[in-house]
Amino acid sequence: MGVDDPIAVNKVLMRRITDEIWNLGKLDLIDVLIAHDFVDHVRIEGLEGTGRERYRRSVEIMRTAFSDRHESIDFLVAERDLVMSYVTITGTHDGELQGLPPTGRRITTEAIGILRFIDGRAVERWGFGDTLGMMAQLGLMS
């Protein structure tokens, strides 16, 4: 796999999005790595809008709720223009999460994200996480 291998390039882009945008909060990179007309298939309660700004808002919501949020990539799988990541997410709920006041509790949960890339930018996203497990860890479910 050389630098000209589109699958390898897309995996590098997925790692950058995870490490630099989600983990380090470099929101300016959203304008570089996410397409303006980005299509988001991830359902997030209360999150409206479309395109790049919807993606930016989803990052802001999670980084506000979990200021020390960190995604560790367990593995990536890529085919054609798609890259799937399986991640372990950790963080402390120290900010509001969609109307829920901070609980101060730590979470460890897993998620799957899939991005489609065209010309060096993510153009589409699918994914899901263990929301029930996270809610239980926050003490909201028994």
Torsion, CA 36, CA 39, CA 42, CA 44, rounded to 10: 50
Number of domains in the chain: 1
Read off the pLDDT of residues 90-108 as tens digits, 9 standing for 90 and up: 999 999 998 899 999 999 9
Q: Is residue 44 included in any domain, yes or no?
A: yes
- Alpha-carbon torsion (59, 12, 111, 122), positive or negative: positive
Question: Residue 32 is part of a domain; what is its CATH number?
Answer: 3.10.450.50
Residue partners of 61: CB distance under 8 A and separation at least 6: 44, 47, 97, 98
Residue whose pair of structure tokens reads 């860890």 in the numeric block: 137
Residue 83 structure tokens: 């890259």
Range of the domain at 60: 6-137
Read off the pLDDT of residues 3-40 as tens digits, 9 standing for 90 and up: 679 999 999 999 999 999 999 999 999 999 999 999 99
Q: Is residue 35 included in any domain, yes or no?
A: yes
pTM of the model: 0.93
Cβ–Cβ < 8 Å for 66, 107: yes
